[in-house]
Copies of this chain bind each other. A is one copy, B any other.
Amino acid sequence: MSRPESQEEPPLVDKPLNATAASLLGFLHDGPMAGWDLVATARHRIGDFWSLTQSQVYRELATMAAAGLVEAGARGQRDKQPFRITASGRAAFAEWINREPGMETIRFPLLLTIHFGRYLAPERLAEFVATHRAAHAARLEGYERELADWRRAEPAAEAADSYRRATLIFGIEYERGVLAWFDELPTFGAPN
């Protein structure tokens, strides 16, 4: 039984977008942008629940340009190179956003430290916990301020962009949950 041998390279089979690339395409719906600006935009708009690095952005842009999902425009000031989304870029994005999103992944080093807390001096653990609690309290404050500012500055826009608002409120509820947890924590290593 001979199997037909395909000696041809699979020619850039349109394998599904990853979420990072898809997000860049999402931002490019609003008009051409350069890598630098995409980094800033992404950090600001989705950075709280989808981290990315500058390096990744340039890599994804290069890959997407090779796949024809974006097109580079003429370089401008400071060699800035704008990318424009193409028709097939829009199609790929549409395909991506229609797919069921996967479950979130959380990687929480402090919880590992606590899990193995019996191997750590209680005071040191308490120190870590205090630092992290403060960081989370600060984040919550930041989110709440953002929401308040938004309401004050653009009472119309707030109702309008319910999508963005929803992600901000996620941040708020998340941080509240985390703080509730901090406040329930026992004093580790203490007799009880």
Contacts and interface: CB of A to CB of B under 8 A. Distances in A.
A159 interface: yes
Count identical subunits in the complex: 2
Interface centre among A48, A49, A93 (most CB of B within 10 A): A49
Contact of A177 (B100, B111, B173): B173
B118 A109 contact: no
Nearest to A103: B135
Contact of A178 (B29, B119, B173, B181): B173
Given A107-B49, A120-B97, A112 B23 contact: yes
Contacts of A119: 26, 29, 93-94, 97
Interface residues of A, number: 62
B174 A162 contact: no
Given A50-B112, A94-B119, A101-B112, 18 more contacts: A23-B112, A26-B112, A26-B116, A48-B106, A49-B112, A50-B107, A97-B116, A98-B124, A100-B128, A103-B109, A103-B135, A104-B106, A104-B110, A108-B170, A115-B164, A159-B192, A173-B177, A173-B178
